[in-house]
Amino acid sequence: MSLASRSLFALVAALAVALSLLATVSPAAAAETIAYTGNFGPGTIIVQTSERRLYLVLDGGRALRYTVGVGRAGRQWSGVSFIDGKYIRPNWSPPADVRRAQPKLPNVIPSGSAANPMGAAAMTLSGSEYAIHGTNAPGSIGGFVSYGCIRMFNQDIADLYSRVRVGTPVVVLR
């Protein structure tokens, strides 16, 4: 084998290793289109905390299904709300519950900081301190992990963000 062939082989092998590592560090995030026969109309976001899934109801008996992180034990909630704000790469001000548990947190954590849990985008929910948002901890998606917010992979929050508007109804079920 020539030196050029060995170099190319080594480069391909290194890329294969890098891609396999990337696949384990960045889980695949993507909405799945499923059949939907529930009672909520198109455009409604439904969060099933027991399933750790968020659904966006579409027309034609379909919905998009995303895997999410939800409130840990004692932090789960249910109810009806609506999106009252949409923000790209938001700063984060820890709510009172978080500040009580972590009193050394600053009042505001800027966008892009490793300590900012909001990720790529956030949509705040009316009547609460909660949001549907991206994350700086993708390994937490699929678990009972938050103080009550709904966490999504950054790619998924970007997708959902582009599909909904302020005023979109949100139903959180246990």
Active site (annotated) includes residue 149: yes
Annotated active-site residue in 29, 133, 150, 171: 133
- The answer to whether residue 108 is catalytic is no
Closest CA to 167 of 43, 77, 35: 43
> Active site residue: 125, 149, 164, 172, which one?
149
**Residues marked as catalytic:** 133, 149
